[in-house]
Amino acid sequence: MIDEIKIKGIYRHYKGDLYLVEDIATHSETGKEMVIYRGLYDGSPLWVRPKSLFLNKLDTKKAQEFGQEYRFELQDIKSVRED
């Protein structure tokens, strides 16, 4: 199980879209950690989801169908910029 979130990391939702994690917030009444993220597509709103659901493991059928184990998975995207 994964349990860490990379701030400013780019994650792939199991259905294919990419999302940028903006930050982690704490719910004022429950104390639960919430992931704040934005889709990397035109018109995407800012989203919030409990960390436990963001990191949720897919059931076996969905994992096989979509080719990934978790609802959101961190992507290793390299910059094209050379320093």
Count of domains observed in the chain: 1
- The answer to the question of residue 79 being in a domain is no
- The answer to the question of residue 41 being in a domain is yes
Can you list the alpha helix ranges (DSSP code H) found in 1-83? 51-54, 60-66
2 has a pLDDT exceeding 70: no
Domain of 36: which CATH number? 2.30.30.320
Q: 29 is written with which tokens?
A: 């009444």
- Determine the structural domain holding residue 61 and report its residue range: 10-72
At residue 41 the predicted structure's pLDDT band, cuts being 50, 70 and 90, is: very high
Q: pLDDT per residue over 50-74, tens digit each?
A: 999 999 999 999 889 899 999 999 9
At residue 40 the predicted structure's pLDDT band, cuts being 50, 70 and 90, is: very high
Beta bridge partners of 36: 23, 48
pLDDT of the residue at 78: 83
Q: 11 is written with which tokens?
A: 């994650």
- The answer to the question of residue 3 being in a domain is no
